[in-house]
C-alpha cells in the first residue's frame, strides 16, 4: 500500500486484560488489528487465536491478526512493522493538522524496509504506544518540525503546547545544532493564545507582517473575538463548511455591535487562512494603513 489516507487509529487510555476467548475485544482495543505479542500482553493465548481465526478473524500474515472491519492503513503499517509518525500520527494524538500529500509518514528500524510510497523518519526518543503502531507525542512533533512546512509543523506543535501536553523548551533542547535551525525557527512562533488551527495561522501571519495581535480579546457587549489587531481591527475566523443560519445571525450581530463601538471587523474563512494567506495579510495591512 503506497498511500496513507489519514484514517485514525483509535487512541485508547488504559490497558484491559481479556480472557482467552475475548480475541475480538482485544483487537477492538488495538484499533482492529494487532500482532501476536501485543495480543499476548492483553491475555490472549495461541489457542484462542486459532479459534478466532476459524471463527472469522483474519490473519493477513503469520503473527498478524485483524477484524474484518480493520482499516487497510492499520493492517499495512503492522504488516510492514512500522510506526506512524509526523503528520500521519496527528489524528492519533488528537493534534490539529493541515492536509498532507497522502504519503504515509513512518518510523522503521531499517530505512530500506520502507517502500517508495512512504516517508521514512529516523530516530526515536521515547517508547511508542503499547497497543497501537504510533510513535510517542514527542517523536511525532520532532519529526514534524524536521519534515513539514512551517504552517504544517506550527499547528501540530501549538496544539500540543496549548493543551499542556508538551513544552517548547522540551522540543528546543532536543533540536540542537545548525541542521535543526529550521525546526527551532518554528518554535519561535508557538503561543498559547489561539484556540484553533485557523487562529494559530492567522495570528502568526499577522505578527510576521509586523502587526500587533491580541488573541481572544474581550469586547464589552460583544464577547471574545478571535483576534484584535492594533487595538481596533477585529478579525473573526470561521472554519465551518456549512454555516447554520442561527449562528450566522449571531455573528453578524456581534460584528455590528463591534462597529457601533468604533471597531472595524473583518471575517476570514478556512480557504483564506490556509490557501490564500498573502491576500488576507495584504487586505488587513491596507485597512490598518488607512487608520495609521
Return all residues near 259 (Cβ < 8 A) that are at least 6 apart. Answer: 265
Give the model confidence (pLDDT) of 145-159 as tens digits: 999 999 999 999 999
Give the model confidence (pLDDT) of 87-144 as tens digits: 999 999 999 999 887 899 999 988 777 877 789 999 999 999 999 999 999 999 999 9
Count Cβ atoms within 10 A of the Cβ of residue 106 and give its class: 0-12 exposed, 13-18 middle, 19 or more buried. Answer: buried
Phi, psi at residue 60, to the nearest 5°? -55, -35
Q: For CA atoms 281, 287, 291, 292, give the dihedral sign.
A: positive
C-alpha angle 8-9-15 in degrees, rounded to nearest 5:
145
Cα gap 71→94, rounded to integer Å? 18
Q: Which residue in the block uniquely carries the three cell numbers 503561543?
A: 191
Cα gap 153→148, rounded to integer Å? 6
Work out the number of other CB atoms within 10 angstroms of the CB of residue 11.
14
How many helices (DSSP H) and strands (DSSP E) are in the chain? 12, 10
Cα gap 112→124, rounded to integer Å? 17
CA torsion 245→246→249→254, rounded to 10°? -140
Helix (H, G, I), strand (E, B) or coil at 199: helix
Q: In what order do the strands lie in the sheet with 83-84?
A: 83-84, 104-107, 118-121
Per-residue pLDDT of the chain (292 residues; tens, 9 = 90+): 344 445 455 444 455 655 545 899 999 999 999 999 999 999 999 999 999 999 999 999 999 999 999 999 999 999 999 999 999 999 999 999 998 878 999 999 887 778 777 899 999 999 999 999 999 999 999 999 999 999 999 999 999 999 999 999 999 999 999 999 999 999 999 998 788 999 999 999 999 999 999 999 888 888 899 999 999 999 999 876 545 766 666 676 777 667 666 678 999 999 999 999 999 999 999 999 987 6
* Percentage of the chain lying above the pLDDT 70 cut: 86
Q: Which residue in the block uniquely carries the three cell numbers 450581530?
A: 253
Q: What DSSP character marks residue 218?
A: E
Phi, psi at residue 185, to the nearest 5°? -65, -35
Q: What confidence score (pLDDT) does residue 192 get?
A: 84
Strand-pair category, 264-269 with 233-238: parallel
Residues 215/235, Cβ–Cβ less than 8 Å: no
pTM of structure: 0.86
C-alpha angle 38-157-164 in degrees, rounded to nearest 5:
80
- End-to-end, the C-alpha distance of the chain in Å comes to 56
Amino acid at each position: 500500500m503506497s498511500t496513507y489516507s489519514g484514517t485514525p487509529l483509535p487512541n485508547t487510555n488504559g490497558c484491559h486484560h481479556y480472557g482467552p476467548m475475548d480475541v475480538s475485544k482485544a483487537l477492538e482495543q488495538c484499533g482492529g488489528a494487532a500482532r501476536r505479542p501485543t495480543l499476548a500482553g492483553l491475555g490472549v493465548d495461541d489457542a484462542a487465536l486459532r479459534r478466532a481465526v476459524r471463527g472469522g478473524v483474519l490473519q493477513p500474515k503469520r503473527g498478524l491478526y485483524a477484524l474484518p472491519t480493520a482499516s487497510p492503513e492499520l493492517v499495512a503499517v503492522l504488516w510492514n512493522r512500522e510506526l506512524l509518525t509526523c503528520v500521519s500520527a496527528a489524528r492519533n494524538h488528537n493534534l490539529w493538522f493541515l492536509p498532507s500529500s497522502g504519503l504515509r509518514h513512518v518510523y522503521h528500524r531499517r530505512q530500506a524496509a520502507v517502500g517508495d510510497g512512504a516517508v521514512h523518519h529516523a530516530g526515536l526518543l521515547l517508547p511508542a504506544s503499547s497497543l497501537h503502531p504510533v510513535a510517542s507525542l514527542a517523536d511525532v512533533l520532532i519529526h514534524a518540525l524536521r519534515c513539514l512546512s512551517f504552517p504544517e509543523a506550527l499547528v501540530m506543535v501549538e496544539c500540543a503546547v496549548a493543551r499542556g501536553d508538551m513544552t517548547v523548551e522540551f522540543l528546543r533542547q532536543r533540536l540542537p545544532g545548525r541542521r535543526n535551525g529550521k525546526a527551532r525557527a518554528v518554535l519561535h512562533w508557538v503561543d498559547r493564545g489561539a484556540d484553533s488551527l485557523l487562529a494559530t495561522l492567522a495570528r502568526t501571519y499577522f505578527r510576521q507582517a509586523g502587526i500587533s495581535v491580541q488573541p481572544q480579546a474581550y469586547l464589552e457587549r460583544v464577547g471574545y473575538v478571535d483576534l484584535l489587531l492594533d487595538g481596533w481591527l477585529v478579525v473573526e475566523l470561521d472554519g465551518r463548511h456549512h454555516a447554520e443560519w442561527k449562528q450566522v445571525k449571531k455573528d453578524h450581530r456581534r460584528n455590528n455591535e463591534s462597529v457601533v463601538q468604533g471597531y472595524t471587523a473583518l471575517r476570514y474563512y478556512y480557504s483564506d487562512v490556509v490557501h490564500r494567506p498573502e491576500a488576507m495579510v495584504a487586505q488587513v495591512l491596507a485597512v490598518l494603513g488607512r487608520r495609521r
